[in-house]
Amino acid sequence: MRKSRIERALVPWIPCMVTGLRVVLAPIIAYLYAYGFVVAAVALFAIAVWTDWLDGVLARVLRVVSDFGAFFDATADKILVLSLLFVAGSAIQPTLNFWLGASSMQAVWALVAIEAALTALRLPRLFFPQVNVHAGRMGKYKLVTEAAVVLEVMILGSAELLPVAIGLGILSLIEHLVHYRLPVGPLRQSSSEASRHGKHGSTGSPS
């Protein structure tokens, strides 16, 4: 009986544990890259990106999809990508052509601003499930492009895809704003509803 209780307690958190691996791997990848272990850094980054697919699959299979899981998933993606862009970009100052004279780090800061805005839009959903947050295709395209930028910077020392990622980020932000809906009535939820929406695993939803 004790074992079954432990299993019931742990299963809802399994996808979140997988999501958390991206947060744990981010500084390890940055360290490896900074000290010249580029191949190992790229390999670990590929594993980290793979967990973004895995946590969503686990959440659906285990039927523990939740708003908290979606938010944590998107936040882990941002921590992984942006931290590596800062470390790699500041180390080598990758070239960035056709971008109105902006440096690569200025472009990274622009991407940070976009991601911060997207996070701010998603945050109320954690506390008020009535808030409608739309994570569409632009978010998926943005995430894939951001991962490609990290690989481009680490392997090639350039960041030509960074403007594309910023453009997709702007489109994703517009997409969120167009579909963003607040409930007409007051934002209220019961404690049982809050518990239900705040204690389960990850959906793997992009943002």
Residue 47 phi/psi, 5-degree rounding, is -65, -40
- Could you please state the CATH topology (level 3) that the domain comprising 2-198 is classified under: Four Helix Bundle (Hemerythrin (Met), subunit A) (1.20.120)
As beta bridge partners, residue 132 has 181
Asked whether the beta carbons of 5 and 192 are under 8 A apart, the reply is no
Give the pTM: 0.78
pLDDT digits (tens, 9 = 90+) for 44-103: 999 999 999 999 898 888 888 888 888 899 899 999 999 998 888 776 666 565 555 667
Residue 202 clears pLDDT 60, i.e. is over it: no
What does the pLDDT read at residue 2?
A: 54
What does the pLDDT read at residue 87?
A: 86
Q: Is the dihedral of CA 63, 57, 43, 149 positive or negative?
A: negative
Alpha-carbon dihedral of residues 13, 18, 22, 25, nearest 10 degrees?
A: 110
Asked whether the beta carbons of 39 and 172 are under 8 A apart, the reply is no
Average model confidence (pLDDT) for the chain? 80
